Chains A and B, each alone.
Chain A
Amino acid sequence: MSSTATPVQQAASPEAAVRPTQRNRVLLRRTRKLLVSLAYVIGALALGVIVWEVIILATNAQPYILPTPLSVWQTLLDLLKTSPAASGGFWQQLWATLEGTLLGFVVGCAAGVVLGILAGEFRVVRQIIYPYLVAVQSLPKVALVPVLATWFGFGLNAKVALVVLLVFFPVLVNTFQGVATADPEKIDLVRSLRGDRWQQLWRVRFFSAMPYMFTGFELGIVYAFLGAVLAEMTGAQSGTGVMIEQFQTNADTQATFAMLIVLAVVGLLLNTIVRMVHKRVVFWEQASAGMGLAVTN
């Protein structure tokens, strides 16, 4: 062997490259898998509708106690057919809820990430935040609604305030965890190159925390939607929560059921969007990090 650089034979063909035919096959397999799981979902829902009908037949339940699936479906279609321009109509109410959800989500996530990073970097911040964190975490946040109403009234602000509070903490905790648990070997590598604290943060810690942050966002979007509807139900001028309250007052149970379906679908949609963005942005993540998606409250 000469003393010049090594030519390495093994690496000549990029073994990691995926050939097009192989990619097609993978795509096909995925599509089939998706269709099968979709069939299961539809089957399960159909089963639910049947059980629902059976219960009505068996107990002879009145429509205001338990409306029939068909009447709920009809009401749902009527709601969806409302003109988007109709003031106070379904679509505008839905938008009011979404507006509060998204505004609060963005503000809460931003605040959570910034404070999470600061908490990860500075002991002082960590120690100041900690007691509040424990206090707020163990507090049922619903109890804050009257206070927030006193401060912010019954408009968008109160809604956003509650959403921010709900979103902020899971994002903060996850971001902090991610920043704090960054691989020490990676940090050492940056330090061996005389990288200062700033470099360590932007070259390693921030990216190491991203899978955790997004786990926080996934939790956050669930809480955000929940918070917005909750704020509306306990006192607001517009939104899906207000509609539900009105339907309930009028004993219009089938409309309430229709709204619940809308909320379930919208919630699922929001969550799916955040999950997709998560996968896209944190493409290098292999195993899930952070606290995982626990849909609670």
Chain B
Amino acid sequence: MSPQSSPTEVGAAHPAAGATGGPGGIPAGNDAGDHVRINSVSLLYRGRDGGQVHALDNVDVRIKNREFVAVLGPSGCGKSTLLKILAGLIAPTQGTVSFVGEDGKPASDLVGLVPQAATLMPWLRIIDNVLLPAKILKLPRQPARDKAMELLDMMGLTGFERRYPRELSGGMQQRVAIARALLHDPKILLMDEPFAALDALTRERLSVELQSVWLSTGKTAFFVTHSISEAVFLADRILVMSRRPGRIIAEFTVPDARPRGIDHVSKESEELASVIRNVLERDASEEWK
């Protein structure tokens, strides 16, 4: 195993961090190039039975500019919840999320969201689905249109602008969702198991496409998945989350050079995948103790 891919065990033994420490409380030394700082985020909510559900426990994550981070974990571990907190859809009970620009100043928290199901509006044509962020953000019309056409072209969907979502296959719909997420030029893409509903072949092809989109657009990417191979193929860094309450129990760096090919997996990443599988299995087996 290469030195980069050794797990950095974190999590359980977290120091009791200041609950609402803003960006000011972070040591300046390690922060160069950070784009997203998730500072000791916890989330508690009242469950249906009235009891408290501890969804996230003291999650600390730094994401660098243009970094591709994948979050792996069993279903229900709170990884999607973490993504929703990043998207500003849920407020954490404790902790903060901050976005930093490349100049080190606070940056826009506007994200590009790719939901699990493509979540296209069935009443809108493909072009209008891609233009949805422009409509909501009230961006100038013509530039937005040009951008949308460009993105559709990039996703291989030229000629489908005037069609409706139901006329497209699942894989094509998901490509529309990626184009839509890029329309308003967000600095970060948040993807919530975007390929989970697709068949294996389509999933692989879309992973390759996503990689090149990411390489060509220079976005920071936060990718939630439960597929180890998907994470290893796509990510620069993989965070592994535990069962509820979700915390980061391990962190791995994927050493392979870009662009990666789906059909040729390096020995290191194969080993990495099995190490991750072990970490997840160890976590899962604790449930039975």
Contacts of A4 in B (CB 8 A): 212, 216
Shortest beta-carbon distance, B137 to chain A, in Å? Answer: 6
B110 lies within 8 A of A5 (CB): no
Shortest beta-carbon distance, A187 to chain B, in Å? Answer: 9
B119 lies within 8 A of A3 (CB): no
Q: Is B89 located at the chain interface by the 8 A CB criterion?
A: yes
Q: Is A131 located at the chain interface by the 8 A CB criterion?
A: no
- Name the interface residues of A269-286: CB closer than 8 Å to any CB of B: 283-284, 286
- Name the interface residues of A156-211: CB closer than 8 Å to any CB of B: 183, 185-186, 188-195, 199, 203-204, 207, 210
Contacts of A185 in B (CB 8 A): 115-117, 119
Q: Is B84 located at the chain interface by the 8 A CB criterion?
A: yes
Q: Is A16 located at the chain interface by the 8 A CB criterion?
A: yes
Chain A, residue nearest B155 (CB): A8
**A106→B246 CA distance, assembly (Å):** 53
Q: Is A21 located at the chain interface by the 8 A CB criterion?
A: no
Shortest beta-carbon distance, A4 to chain B, in Å? Answer: 6
Contacts of B165 in A (CB 8 A): 284
Which of B37-45, B156-164, B222-230, B231-239 faces chain A? B156-164
Which of B1-9, B49-57, B166-174 faces chain A? B166-174
Contacts of B185 in A (CB 8 A): none
Q: Is B18 located at the chain interface by the 8 A CB criterion?
A: no
**A56→B125 CA distance, assembly (Å):** 60
Contact for B154 among A6, A191, A195, A203, CB less than 8 A:
A6
Q: Is A85 located at the chain interface by the 8 A CB criterion?
A: no
Contacts of A210 in B (CB 8 A): 123
A192 lies within 8 A of B89 (CB): yes
Q: Is A20 located at the chain interface by the 8 A CB criterion?
A: no
Contacts of A140 in B (CB 8 A): none
Contacts of B279 in A (CB 8 A): none
Q: Is A42 located at the chain interface by the 8 A CB criterion?
A: no
Q: Is A11 located at the chain interface by the 8 A CB criterion?
A: yes
Contacts of B215 in A (CB 8 A): 3
Contacts of B155 in A (CB 8 A): 6, 8
What range describes how many residues of B lie at the interface? 35 or more
Q: Is B209 located at the chain interface by the 8 A CB criterion?
A: yes
A189 lies within 8 A of B212 (CB): no
B166 lies within 8 A of A286 (CB): yes
Shortest beta-carbon distance, B95 to chain A, in Å? Answer: 20
**A186→B115 CA distance, assembly (Å):** 9
B81-114 vs A, Cβ < 8 Å mask (1 yes, 0 no): 0001001110000000000000000000011010
B212 lies within 8 A of A5 (CB): yes
Contacts of B141 in A (CB 8 A): none
**A12→B156 CA distance, assembly (Å):** 7
**A10→B205 CA distance, assembly (Å):** 10
Q: Is B133 located at the chain interface by the 8 A CB criterion?
A: yes
B166 lies within 8 A of A186 (CB): no
Contact for A194 among B137, B157, B216, CB less than 8 A:
B137
Q: Is B259 located at the chain interface by the 8 A CB criterion?
A: yes
Contacts of A190 in B (CB 8 A): 132, 136
Where chain B touches its partner, the secondary structure class is: loop
Chain B, residue nearest A3 (CB): B215
Given known A-B contacts A188-B84, A194-B110, A194-B137, A284 and B123 have beta carbons under 8 A apart:
yes
**A67→B73 CA distance, assembly (Å):** 77
B113 lies within 8 A of A1 (CB): no
Contact for A207 among B89, B121, B137, CB less than 8 A:
B121
Contacts of B190 in A (CB 8 A): 192
Shortest beta-carbon distance, A288 to chain B, in Å? Answer: 15
**A6→B258 CA distance, assembly (Å):** 15
Chain A, residue nearest B168 (CB): A16
Chain B, residue nearest A210 (CB): B123
**A210→B84 CA distance, assembly (Å):** 28
Given known A-B contacts A5-B216, A183-B119, A194-B137, A284 and B166 have beta carbons under 8 A apart:
yes
B133 lies within 8 A of A193 (CB): yes
B116 lies within 8 A of A11 (CB): no
Q: Is B122 located at the chain interface by the 8 A CB criterion?
A: yes
Chain B, residue nearest A286 (CB): B166
**A12→B158 CA distance, assembly (Å):** 8
Q: Is B22 located at the chain interface by the 8 A CB criterion?
A: no
Contacts of A286 in B (CB 8 A): 166
B216 lies within 8 A of A3 (CB): yes
Shortest beta-carbon distance, A109 to chain B, in Å? Answer: 20
Shortest beta-carbon distance, B171 to chain A, in Å? Answer: 8
Which residue numbers of A lie inside 8 Å of B, CB to CB?
A: 1, 3-12, 14-16, 183, 185-186, 188-195, 199, 203-204, 207, 210, 283-284, 286
User: What are 15 sample pairs from A and B whose C-beta atoms fall under 8 A apart?
Assistant: A4-B212, A6-B154, A8-B155, A11-B158, A15-B169, A185-B119, A186-B119, A186-B121, A188-B89, A192-B88, A192-B89, A192-B190, A194-B110, A204-B121, A284-B165
Told that A16-B167, A188-B89 touch, could you supply 7 new A-B pairs with CB distance under 8 A?
A3-B259, A183-B119, A188-B84, A193-B133, A194-B110, A194-B137, A283-B123
